A and B are shown apart, each in its own frame.
Chain A
């Protein structure tokens, strides 16, 4: 997802333009840039990094101009480089564009332009637009004609903003499939991906529709249809909502938004280049000892990974929580530490990585935020590409990290000869089918999850129980519950019950069982026997069970039924349902879901 904006006015608008992409940063921030018209010339500054960071390097705010455009983006994958950052300019430097979306036919246009002698600087689809307009302008001598001629060549979904030396006070913009809204005020007008960009300056917004373009000038805005250039008369809307509502994109809370984003997160985790996965497998293969490390949720991610490595690759990797790392880990040259962090800024994790480095170990990381401390200090980085995660409680980022660890474990297993090609392919087929399964499950089960949560949140003490890989999933499910509901919820290995935990069970202690698929015969049998132990003591139980699990359904009346999925991906589905359950429980209890009490998104202090 990218954010684009444009400002035109009398006087220098650069500071306002800069603030506008600061406000769009939540849409993504791995590179950004400004294109400004000043004294009849177009100037562009751009680079890789967050908006503030790029400003420090490129001095964006010391630019000058009356009209300008800006861009900030979050690349899910692929190269983020200075030349690929927006804005892009035409060969003559007189037209500069920013873009949100995808041009489907850009390769065809690029080939055609190459034959006409156009030289491309970047690998982006965006750059063709700058050249198309410049060439059309040479032909027609009118910017609006040229802009429209270029737009008509494009196929895909896009929003563009353009400034040009040929019409120094104007911003030309077009919407076709990607959002674009005009902001109206006296003597200064705006265009942006969403209203956050200009809310501090005006609340009068004119939302563009697909197939419309606008010419924005300080004195006013002309909105027209692409097809016949007829004027569109639409009353501006006075924006009553705040920036926060807008960023949540139709969800009541970031947590729910991020839970619902997981089909996309899964796709992005699967799109992490195979070469990076292979490299990590190679590192583990070469290392004397490999540690998996995270803290909080990412510790449970690492524990889940531990099962993957053990079961798929026959390697039991020590998994140590970052806060205990120094006291427990025995690291030295030849060892590898794979650290996991959403923010890449977690104090405990950074400290443990520094400790490992000081002892001569090699370090690698899986992080979500590009340019974060962890991504800089480790020898290797995998960027998980999950997009910004704003809710303090991690959901989608954790899921992506688990999938990436699974992929590394699979690769290692294949190399070790423990996974044959057919199994390897079957795993990938299951993973690739997972996003749509998750999408449907979220759509079809939300009501049932909410109803169940509404019924049971009066319990103050909970156990979440699972065996095998469902044990770390239980730990993570319990942590989600703790964080957002403030209830006392503990994850426990189901096999532990009769070794002590069972003493806690009475009618006030609710046990939530995460049951494995029926095909996992032994694990399933063991889980059911634990369930019966609780039932025999009169303990109330809840279950997340797969639809075809007749035995569990007969035992548990308060349950969420999950669609049957291959055992390979079943833990992920259990995790997602647990996240949703925690969300609706917290909603029922009226908790501060996105910012639970006492918690912060990234714990950067010790």
Chain B
């Protein structure tokens, strides 16, 4: 294997190279990342972190899953969707209803709550063959708003404005999880999603998505069936969003219509633009920035922090800055830092 050229920057974009140590193995990195993140409950029971951080970090993991799906759709395939929140909400309400009201097991409810939104997602994918860009954004936004309105009105299933509650999941019918173990379930789900996404985007499917975004005509000339791959992109994005919604409702334990607004969809979009289009770790970084910083830091600022919707202003300004200075997302800061560091160490060390 000729893997002499490591290129510039971090090795994450190079797939087959750098199998020198297990640390370079991307799968090992994903699992290691999961193990580190899974330590949050331990830190909190040891008194190092406040226990509210478990909820905060947990919700970042949940939003990361949805954002990963949007990254497949928008980052890779170049198709826009502003309907993420609607699908998350639909899955959340469905799973809450199926487990609480109908008493279905968690696993079955998970499957149904993903399958139904995916069917709707595929229908939108059909529409995407006829429209692109702004028009597609408007259609997905409409679907999302229709769903939100349904959550408000269809009180039999959703309890309307008073919200719907759900319990922590019971795995395999006997393993009742609590908050900390549900948190671990979130980590496991995220790591699985990271691995699946990594495999997909570095294979034929990912290249077909790239080809669709890069040039529709070239993609077709190379045999990429646009219908198939657009539907696939929408199906995957909705599946991820739905999984995210199910995890949300069983971790946060309640769902209100007001959660699943356009603001949420825009936040998920901000996650991938800020963190990194077409980057797995970038997505998680983005989710951390968009969902932790406003909660943790901005509210501490004396006057500004009290302004309603200040977090949107923050994300907005951040998006502008990122697009100006790091069009591929803040994750690209790290290779640059590493490059600076390497330069300082001296030129002769470049292979070390």
Pair from one complex: no
Chain A interface residues (CB < 8 Å from chain B): none
